[in-house]
Amino acid sequence: MQLATPSLPGRNILAVSFLFVSLQLSVIVHAQEFEVPASLPVTKEEFVNTEKDVIAAAKWLESNAIGTDMNKRTKVNTWVLAWLTNSPNVTIEVQQPIMKLFDKNPQLLMVWMAGYARYCLENSYSKDNIKCNVAGIKSAIACYNLGGDIKKEKLLPKVIDKDKEGKLEEWVKEALESK
């Protein structure tokens, strides 16, 4: 004899909610577990093989507050900067109007660079400077919003408001045109 189990809509919502939360936590845990590679790539093939590490480093940088685990942050920053400096596939266009965002919080500059590179890598080596900058700024905003050892300043909160209004891309275009 089989017992019929009534279908409960709340049960499905609960299962979907649990799955969503589990996936979010696994992303956070994965980002926190990032280990800096022992060496830098040399060949183009090695760079391609370590792109996943750059993406993981970007996730780690944006999900860990400035001022926490600074020894590891320094190692991650150094590795990402060296990788970007020598990468045959990724070029970051550093421009003064964007750099002004990080005058009082220079640690966010590396978060921006890693986020820029992450977007480029996740989007078929995108050369779209606007979209790459937007992604980098969103990474810096995520880290800024964690708090930590962040100095208060005026420009970045205004840009955060532009992002909340859905106008970050417009702000980036205007900022880059004013250079």
pLDDT tens per residue, range 29-54: 444 589 999 999 999 999 999 999 99
Q: Residue 56 and residue 33: Cα distance in Å, rounded?
A: 9
* DSSP type of residue 27: H
Q: Which residues of the chain have pLDDT under 70?
A: 1-32, 179
Residue 32's pLDDT is: 56
pTM of the complete model:
0.81
Q: Residue 170 and residue 9: Cα distance in Å, rounded?
A: 42
* Helix pair 168-177, 129-145: axis angle to 10 deg: 120
Q: Residue 70 and residue 59: Cα distance in Å, rounded?
A: 16
Where along the chain do its domains lie? 9-177
* DSSP type of residue 91: -
